[in-house]
Amino acid sequence: MTLSADPATRRDDTGFTLVETLVSLMIMGMVMASLAVFFSRSMTVTSRQGDRQIAAQLVTDGIDQLRKVPGCRLRNLCGNSWPPPTDTHTVDRVVYTRTYTRQAVIPPDLLPVAVTVTWKGCSGTCTFTATTLISTTVSEPVFNVP
């Protein structure tokens, strides 16, 4: 392409053409669309992690409640023997159901207990479970502590 030396016949090249403007708008639109998908996905993941954190707190609270119960009540040896099999908690309009499960006593007087929290979310029902061993003896052992 040759440039004319005469200013009267030379084309004015200031600004962008319509094609350049449309191409740049398409590129910006694709970048913005991908960012929108990224941000919406990150909000979904953050919400799910919040639900999981609440479930973990409810499981930990359930285990702490079991540790406060005297051992004989956990073994059905005295009084009102076992915490309710299920209880529900509503946090941020999500209903969490906490279930206590126990197995047979393991010698020497250890009771395996599982606490499970379920809630509607994800693509169905989500669960979070923690297990522990709880001593069912009346007094805890004392070790030689100097």
Taking residues 30-40, what's their average pLDDT?
94
pLDDT of residue 117: 93
Interval 63-96: pLDDT, tens: 888 888 776 666 664 545 566 678 888 988 889 9
Residue 45 has pLDDT above 70, yes or no: yes
Does pTM surpass 0.75? no
Confidence label for 34 from pLDDT (cuts 50, 70 and 90): very high
Name the residue among 84, 68, 64, 48 with its Cα closest to residue 130.
64
pLDDT of residue 79: 47
Q: Token pair of 27, please?
A: 């590129």
pLDDT of residue 92: 85
Cα 20 to its chain centre, rounded Å, is 46
Q: List phi, psi (to 5°) of 136.
A: -105, 10
pLDDT of residue 76: 62
Task: Select the highest-mean-pLDDT range: 2-6, 26-30, 52-56, 92-96.
Answer: 26-30
Is the model more confident about 58 or about 80? 58
Residue 108 has pLDDT above 90, yes or no: no
Average pLDDT of the chain?
81
Is the model more confident about 27 or about 1? 27
- Segment holding 105, helix H or strand E: none
